[in-house]
Every structure is written in C-alpha cells, then in structure tokens.
Amino acid sequence: MKGFMPLAFEERPVAEMKARAEEFYALMCRRRTVRDFSDREIPGDVIEHALLTAGSAPSGAHRQPWHFVVVTDPGKKAAIREAAEHEEREFYGRRATKEWLDALAPLGTDASKPFLTTAPVLIAVFLRRFTFVPAGEEEEGKRLKNYYTSESVGIATGLLIGALHNAGLATLTHTPSPMRFLNALLDRPRDERPYLLLVAGYPAPDSRVPVLERYALGELATFV
Ligand code: IYR
C-alpha cells in the first residue's frame, strides 16, 4: 500500500440502486450447486476474469491470503480424483458420523466424484497463512503473518462463485477432507492450506439438482 488517493465512487439514483439490487438478486438466486458436469470446454478468459474478481475481495491487512491453481490437465485431474475418492471412501465408509451421513442423504452424494475428471476446470483454492516480503523490498524474504485468513479466502471464493455464475457457468464447491494431497499434486508450499476445490463448467444436459428452499428474509435476517 502506498499512501492514499481519492475514492472513485459512483453514486446512483435511488431508483437505479433499487433496480440493480433486485436484478442482482434475481441473477444470484438462480445459482445452484451442480454435481453433473458436461466435458465441454469453457473460455479461459472467463476463468481469468473470475479470478481477478475473486482477487478484488477485501482481506485482513490487505495481505490477499489466497492462491488459486487452475487445473485443466487431464492427468492432473485424474490424480486429484483418485486422491479425493480415496479420502471420500474413508469418509463415507468410516469417518463420517451417522448424523452427518443423514444430513447428506437428501443431496444424494457418495464417494464417487466423476465431476473431477469430467468438468473442464478445477480451481484449487489455497489459503496462505504467511506472506513473504518480495525480492528487492526492504527485509526481503521476511515471513509476515496474515490475518483473518479464512474470512478473507471465504469472501474471495464467494466472489469467484458469483463471478462464474454471472458469466453463465456452473460450479460445485467440493471439500474432500483432508485435502493436503493437493499441495503435493499441485506443487504448492507446505505453509499454504488447501481451502476448497471449485469445480467449474457447463452442467450436463440432464443435470438435476435437489429441491430445496432458502430462508425468507425474515428468517435469515433480523432488523433492529
Ligand atoms: N466432502 C464429502 C461430503 C460432503 C459434505 C458436505 I457438509 C456436503 O455439503 C457435501 C458433501 C463429499 O464431497 O461427498
């Protein structure tokens, strides 16, 4: 950060503000998590712009504690699928409590994760607990602690999901647990923590989603 500058704020007439708020809700409430993907290619520059949007998120001390790895290579996707399905078999077969499995039952998920190889793009989101002072700057290489990392990466991921939906793509937030295998497969340093795996692409033509209800305003918010 280098000093201060005037804010480039664009004030909108109230009617326009209201219309935009409604339109944005109408767009966003059509987003659904998709589990059946088409193998159709998606435009690379859509992913690039969505990543730049994610990078516009606010972050603790502006440390930008995120890193995104975009995986399109079929061999890498296959390796991720194999490792994720290994963990998921443990999860569904052993680790998960009955209560957890009951909660998941309406979604119809299981240890099989074909979307990890079918979908054209996987975005592995990593959380950086530290920032290293770049070469050429004072105290080069010094390790600085990042702040509010999970809040910051969560917000960035939300913007990423919103940006991809706005562009017309479907996503799935996938969280194999544990997912440390992503560091080895994607060559990321140990101090980066895999945060989640975002699957992106077109939905399969026959894709179905669970019937679900979302909270009404009075349920999700309280006005005091
Ligand atoms: N990670 C597992 C289990 C799972 C857990 C939750 I909470 C979900 O909302 C969905 C799935 C899987 O991906 O199947």
Predicted pLDDT at 99: 97
Residues 6+ apart with CB under 8 A from 7: none
Predicted pLDDT at 139: 95
Asked whether residue 195 carries a pLDDT value surpassing 90, the answer given is yes
Peptide bond between residue 203 and the one before it cis (omega within 30 degrees of 0): no
Task: Give the model confidence (pLDDT) of 118-127 as tens digits.
Answer: 999 999 999 9
Ligand 1 atom closest to the CA of 107, numbered from 1:
10
Ligand 1 atom closest to the CA of 96, numbered from 1:
3
Predicted pLDDT at 135: 94
Nearest CA to ligand 1 atom 9: 104
Neighbours of 150 (CB within 10 A): 13
Residue 175 CB–ligand 1 contact under 6 Å: yes
Rounded to whole angstroms, the Cα distance separating 170 from 199 reads: 8
Buried b (16+ CB within 10 A) or exposed e, 45-68: ebbeebbebbeebebeeebbbbbb
- Nearest partner of 200 among 41, 79, 26, judged by Cα: 41
76: left (phi over 0), alpha (psi -120 to 50) or beta: alpha
Find residue 143's DSSP bridge partners: 132
- Residue 89 has, within 13 A of its CA and on its CB side, a CA count of 6
Task: Give the model confidence (pLDDT) of 29-48 as tens digits.
Answer: 999 999 999 999 999 999 99
Asked whether residue 70 carries a pLDDT value surpassing 90, the answer given is yes
Q: For the residues 37-64, what does the mean pLDDT come to?
A: 98
CA torsion, ordered 68, 72, 73, 78, to nearest 10 deg: 90
Q: For the residues 20-27, what does the mean pLDDT come to?
A: 98
Asked whether residue 205 carries a pLDDT value surpassing 90, the answer given is yes
More confident residue, 154 or 177: 154
Rounded to whole angstroms, the Cα distance separating 23 from 165 reads: 14
Residue 101 CB–ligand 1 contact under 6 Å: no
Asked whether residue 1 carries a pLDDT value surpassing 90, the answer given is no
Token reading at 51: 């990543």
Distance from the CA of 163 to the center of ligand 1, in angstroms?
23
Q: For the residues 102-108, what does the mean pLDDT come to?
A: 94
Predicted pLDDT at 2: 85
Report field, pTM of the whole predicted structure over 0.85? yes
Residue 192 CB–ligand 1 contact under 6 Å: no
Predicted pLDDT at 177: 86
Question: Mean pLDDT for the chain?
Answer: 97
Domain 49-87+114-204: CATH superfamily is NADH Oxidase (3.40.109.10)
Q: For the residues 81-95, what does the mean pLDDT come to?
A: 96
Distance from the CA of 101 to the center of ligand 1, in angstroms?
9
Predicted pLDDT at 77: 98
Rounded to whole angstroms, the Cα distance separating 90 from 177 reads: 9
